Amino acid sequence: MMRKRLIIAFGLVVSAFFLWLTLRDQAWGEVAAAFGQADYRWLLPAALLIMVDYLIRGWRWQIILRPILSRPLPLGSSFSILLLGFAANNVLPARAGELWRMWGLSQRADVRKTVVLSTLVVERLFDGLTLLFLLALSGLLFPLQGQAQMVETALAALFGVVLLGLLAFLFFEDQMVRLATLLMWPFPHELRERLLGLIDRFTDGLHALRRPRALLAIVFTSLLAWGSQALSYAAILLAFGLRLDPLHLLGVATLMLALINLLILIPAAPGNVGTYEGGGRLALSIAGIAALRGETGTAIILVSHMLQWLLVTAGGLIIAAQQGISLARVPSELSLAEE
């Protein structure tokens, strides 16, 4: 209980810090004026593109899961479990939505939760690598400096290490298991066997990466999903009167997409409050568009965050109501120790 409270407190502090950093010294009367001048008809295509993004993510999860399931998971099921998980992240602390996805899939497909966890790691890895690629592309139009360059370098190192670790378990599984066994020598025999069993099941969830066709499909769907979300940011920019040539408009949207979603990796309050705004402010600052006043930028960030939060949370709540479950509780079946 104390650990949970510390995690929640840490997230709240992080969110408060980023909100202060992003929203200090704002002329709120001008922010309100920017809200009033926006053309909200652009939010309809933005909303559709966001939902297309999550639908493609469901398709990608199907591809990752295919080698480990006895029968294919329907797209409707993968989409609903995924959206339920993201909705739980919006309202629960400590990214509890990942636990909901583990529980949901273990209920639908009778698969061990450790295996599900490994598929989520694959997802996050490809999300991170895709975002870094898009950040590098947007950097051709808007060169990264200072904080943004530090973020890019640090995360490239992080995802590089994770990728190398997963590849090591995939292609040198026996050697890695022997290494893990040696490192666990101080542990009691029963605990050591349990941990090695978890490692073995975790590796099972990585099997999609061994298949070139599946690997290409994961890369393709990752680009497609994030591309759809980048277009949703472009629609929101158009709603606030940002008129640029298509290449530069897409460049600003991609920069926002990449920096927002990389910064929300930092643990914060539910719904990524604060870190989302910090990423958006950093992106618009780097873009340095003369036609975009600071207060308009703040309005853009708040509307985009609100739209994403409302869509995903409402979708998740509808699914939860249909299935007779509550996002406010985490089932006891989620413990990996029981496997």
Q: Quick one: DSSP state of residue 5? A: H
pLDDT at 113: 80
How much of the chain exceeds pLDDT 90, in percent? Answer: 48
43-54 tens-digit pLDDT: 999 999 999 999
Contact between residue 7 and residue 267 where contact means Cβ atoms under 8 Å apart: yes
pLDDT at 181: 82
Output the six-digit token pair for 249: 């408009």
pLDDT at 68: 86
pLDDT at 150: 80
Q: Is the pTM of this model over 0.85?
A: yes
Q: How far apart are CA 151 and CA 165, in angstroms?
A: 21
Output the six-digit token pair for 93: 């602390």
Residues of the chain with pLDDT under 70: 1, 147, 290-293, 329-339
Rounded to a whole number of angstroms, the distance between the first and last alpha carbons of the chain is: 22
pLDDT at 329: 66
Residues contacting 206, CB < 8 A, separation 6+: 118, 122, 166, 169, 170
Output the six-digit token pair for 240: 């606030």
Q: How far apart are CA 50 and CA 277, in angstroms?
A: 18
* Tally of residues, the chain: 339
Q: Estimate to the nearest angstrom the gap between the alpha carbon of 85 and the chain centroid.
A: 11
pLDDT at 149: 78
Element (H, E) at 34: helix 28-37
Output the six-digit token pair for 141: 């139009």
Q: Which of 257, 275, 304 is nearest to 11 (CA)?
A: 275
pLDDT at 337: 45
